Amino acid sequence: MGAVVNLRDVRQRRAGREVLRLDALDLEAGERLAVLGPNGAGKTTLLRLLAAIDPPSDGAVLVDGVSTRTGGVALRRRVAYATQRPGLLHTSALHNVELPLAWRKLPRQRRRELATAALEHLGISHLAGRPAHALSGGEMQRVSLARALATEPSLLLLDEPAAGLDPESRSTFLADVEHALADRATTVVHVSHRAEEALRLADRVAVLVAGELRQLDTPSALTCRPNDATVARLVGYDNVLGASIDRDGAVRVAGHTVGLSSAELTGPATIAVWGAGVRLNAAGVGGLRRIVTRVTPGPGRWEVALDGPDQLRAYLSRRVTPPVPGERVVVTFDPDLAAVIATRAS
């Protein structure tokens, strides 16, 4: 059964500086929360609080109603924390996985069963007898995950588990993580600074910036309605630029209409546009006038870079003939692939 997690008025200070400020954050049993944020946002600080490694400077962190201040080893043994570096010990992969079970005084036979099952679940049972330090990066990460899962935790904390892996290994590893978690009721908090990882594994995503919770939403809501420019960049919008909204709702960038409108907002705003939502029109149509600076083939698309202060990027289907560098174009945006955001300090 997954743990219920509640954070209330949590403040964490380091060397007199507040590094995390969370008024409230609640996780239901079995929920998967991704924490997305840039380096230094307080993601690992949050995990350390949840793992009961650090007590909060102020406020309360509760796991199934038990405070991490007072829960002691008993509480920590319901949580498994896999740090960014696998932290494997100089012994066999199997013994690495068995060790936390030995700390919990499980009988030898049971330890062996659980560790073997965890390795099998991640498709690495063939590595059981290998020295952990002779494994590749991806294999180490899998052993680290198997070690965390073997303890059958109520709360699993993953700190950038795919960091340091090349893109192909990362994708495979994340698929394995998804598979390993598929039939478990464990509550999971997964930290990442990569949107594609966070969105892939989560029921909800918490975006942390400079120690503050900027947005807490489902992956779908987060990608469609980011709260501010920083969140929009973090979730992967290719173009984020300043705009203004007329009283009639028309969105203007540098005084030009761009094919967007807003029924709710007026005044200064931010717009976020996916690269696929940037339309390049022939000169003469209303929009932003730009010059193509570079065209590069991308995965299933043409990636077009445009000049100008906003450094726009457009992704075009490989079915169309791309513009050539130096060509003049007029840019508008597809309303279905853009978000209009009320401007706030970020």
Partner 1 sequence: MSDPLHEVLSRSAAVSVTATLIAVLIGIPLGTALALARLPGRRLLVTAVNTGMAVPTVVVGLFVALALWRSGPLGNLDLIYTLRGMVIAQVLIATPLITAITMAALQLLPPDLPDQLRGLGANRRQLVVQLWLEARLPLLAAAMAGFGHALSEVGAATIVGGNLHGQTQVMTTAIVEDVGRGEFASASAYAGVLLALAFAVNGLLTSVQQRGATWARS
Give the C-alpha separation, 232 to 270, whole Å.
10
Question: Scanning residues 134 to 153, which ones bind partner 1 (CB under 8 A)?
Answer: 134, 147-148, 151
CB of 169 within 8 A of CB of 59? no
Pairing relationship of beta strands 187-192 and 155-159 according to DSSP bridges: parallel
> Which range binds partner 1 by CB under 8 A, 59-67, 98-106, 135-143, 333-341?
98-106
The answer to whether 328 and 314 have CB atoms below 8 angstroms apart is no
For position 126 contacting partner 1 by CB under 8 A, the verdict is no
Give the integer Cα–Cα distance in Å for 154 and 79. Answer: 6
Residue 68 or 332 having the CB closest to partner 1: 68
| 3-class SS letters over 237-303 | CCEEEEEEECCCCEEEECCEEEEEECCCCCEEEEEEECHHHEEEECCCCCCEEEEEEEEEEECCEEE
The encoded tokens of residue 327 equal 């060509």
- Min dist CB 234 to partner 1, Å, is 25
Sole binder of partner 1 in the list 131, 236, 298, 308 (CB under 8 A): 131
320 near partner 1, rule: CB under 8 A: no
Nearer to partner 1 (CB atom), residue 83 or residue 262: 83
> From residue 44 to residue 83, what is the string marking binding to partner 1 with x (rule CB under 8 A)?
----x--x-x-------------------x--xx-xxxxx
- Specify the amino acid at residue 311: Q
Bridge-based pairing state of the strands 187-192 and 32-36 = parallel
Number of residues binding to partner 1, judged by CB under 8 A = 28
Among 1, 24, 26, 87, binds partner 1 (CB under 8 A): 87
- Is the dihedral angle over the CA atoms 162, 168, 169, 171 positive or is it negative? positive
Fill in the per-residue mask, 103 to 122: x = in contact with partner 1 (CB under 8 A), - = not in contact.
Answer: xx------------------
Q: Least CB distance from residue 87 to partner 1, whole Å?
A: 4
User: Should residue 89 be labelled a site residue for partner 1 when binding is judged by CB under 8 A?
Assistant: yes
Pick the piece of the chain touching partner 1 (CB under 8 A) from 100-108, 213-221, 240-248, 268-276.
100-108
**How far, CA to CA in Å, does 23 sit from each of 12, 48, 61?**
12, 17, 11
Residues binding partner 1 (CB under 8 A): 48, 51, 53, 73, 76-77, 79-85, 87, 89-91, 99-100, 103-104, 131, 133-134, 147-148, 151, 157
